[in-house]
A and B are shown apart, each in its own frame.
Chain A
Amino acid sequence: MSLSAYFVINLILALLLYLYGRSRAIAFSSSRKLFATKGYFGLHNLLVAFVPSFLFVLIYTLAEPGMIRYLVQSALPSVLDVEPESFQFIYNELLNVHAEIIPFDASNTTHTLGLAVYVGAINTVSISKMLLFGSIVLIATMYALYRTNPSFNARVHAELMIKWILMLLSMISVITTFGILLSVLFESIRFFGQVSIFDFLFGTQWSPQTAIREDQVGSSGAFGAVPVFGGTLLIALVAMAVAIPFGLFSAIFLSEYAKSSTKDILKPILEILAGIPTVVYGYFAALVIGPFIRELGDNLGWQLTSESALAVGLVMGVMIIPFVSSISSDVISAVPMSLREGSYGCGATKSETIRNVVLPAALPGIIAGVLLAVSRAIGETMIVVMAAGLAANLTFNPLEPVTTVTAQIVTLLVGDQEFDSAKTLAAFALGLVLFVVTLLLNIYALHVVRKYREQYE
C-alpha cells in the first residue's frame, strides 16, 4: 500500500470521527450542559484519529529501507554463500534487479535465491506496517468513541494536543540544525584524521591539491586555512566599512528626520536591496565594479587586477545595508518618545538628542543588527565566487585578489571528486568553522537584543 493510500485512509477515518464527535455532542448537548462546545469534541476525535497513525506511517516509511536491509542481511547467508564484506555489493545488485535496472538472469543463483529473500523481506515489512497501522487506528478509534460522552472535557484535551503538535513542529527546525551540525562534524573529523587540526587552523599555505595517483606530479596538498579565513575577514571588513555608516545614517534619517510620507517611499526601496539575488550582485561586482577599480588603478599608474577584495567588499557592503538600516531604524524607533522629549525639554537640538540619548539607548540593538549583517557577509558566497578570485593570498591589501571560506568550499566540491579525499573533506572542515563562527555571532546578537528588550519593558 502506498504512502498516499495510508494518508487518504487516515484522513477519511479522521473526518468520520470528527463528524461523529460533533454530531454526538450536538445530540447530548440538549440533555446536559457540556464541558466544551461541540466543535471541540470533533477536533479532539480528529486529532486522536489522525496524528498518532500519521506519525507512525511517516516514521515507519523512513525506517523501511533499513529494516528490509536488516532482514535480507540476516536471512541471506542461509541460502547463499555471502562473505560479510561482499554483502553490500550483492545487496546493491538485488536492489537493481528488483528495480529492473539490471536484467534478471535465471541462471544466476544470486538473482534467483537472493531475489526471493529480498521480496520476502519487502512483504514482511509492508504487512507488518499494515497490521500495526490497523491496530493503531483501531485503538485510536475506540479511544475516541469512548471519550465522546458528556462528562469528558474535550476542550482541555484538544488544547493540550494542539500544544504538543505545535511543539513537535517547532522541534523540527532545531533537529535539522543539529543534523546539519552533526553531518558536517563527522566529515570534519574524517578530515582531521588526514590533516592535523593544528595545521588546518594555523597553517598559512592553502593549496588543496592532492595527488590522485601515486606517480602524479603535485604535492600532497597544503591545508592551512589562515589565508582563506583572512580573505573572508578582509572582505567582511570592507563590507562593514560600507554597510555600517550608510546603513546607520540612513536609519537615523529614516526614523528621526524623514517625514512619514518620505519614509513610506524610501524604506521599501532600501529594502529592495536585500531582495536582489546575490548572483546579480556578483556580476555587478565582476563586470562593473572590478573593472572600474582596475581602470582607476591604470589611471593612477598602479597595476591592479579586476578581481579584488575591494570590489567584492564594496558590493557586499551595499547588499547588507538593508540589514543594518532596517534593524537599526526599528530599534531607533523603539526608543521611547519620552526620552527624546526629555532631551528636547532640556534644550537639546535634534542632533544632540540623537547623539546623546537616542543612539546610546538604541546601541545594543544596532550592534545586534550589525552582527547579523556580519554573519551574513561571512556566509555570502556568490559575489565572492564571481568577483574575488580563487588565489589564497594572505594579505591585508584590499586591492589584491583573495579567496574566502565559502568560495573555497564551492571550488572544492564542484566537479568530479572522490568523496573521501582530503581535498573534498577540507570543504566540510571549512564549513564547520564557518558554521561555528556565524552561530556564535548570531547567539551573541540575540543575547544583545534580549538584554536591550529588558531595558524598556
Chain B
Amino acid sequence: MRIVLACNAGMSTSILKMKLEQEMTKDGKEPNVIAVPVSEINDHLENASVILLGPQIRFLKNEVQEKTDVPVLAIDIKDYGSMNAVKVYKTVKEVLGE
C-alpha cells in the first residue's frame, strides 16, 4: 500500500507522514508514505493506492480525482489538526476495503 499525501508545499503533511508510517509498521505493513506539494501531484500518481489531501487544499479534490482512478480523499479537519494518524489510517483502510 502506498499513501500519497499532498498539501501546498508538502511540509505540514510531512508531519502526518511520519505518524502514518508508524501506524503502517504497527499494522505489519511496509511503511510507504510520501508527502508532496500538490503542484507535483502528477508525478506521484503512479503506484499510489490512495491520495490524501490536506484540508487547506480540500477544494482541489475533484480536480485531482479526474487524473486518477484511485480514491482521493480530503483529510478530516479534526484529524488533521490533531495529526491523528490512527484515525486517518483507519479511514484509508476502510476506503480501500481492507
Do A and B bind? Answer: no
Binding site for B on A (CB under 8 A): none
Binding site for A on B (CB under 8 A): none
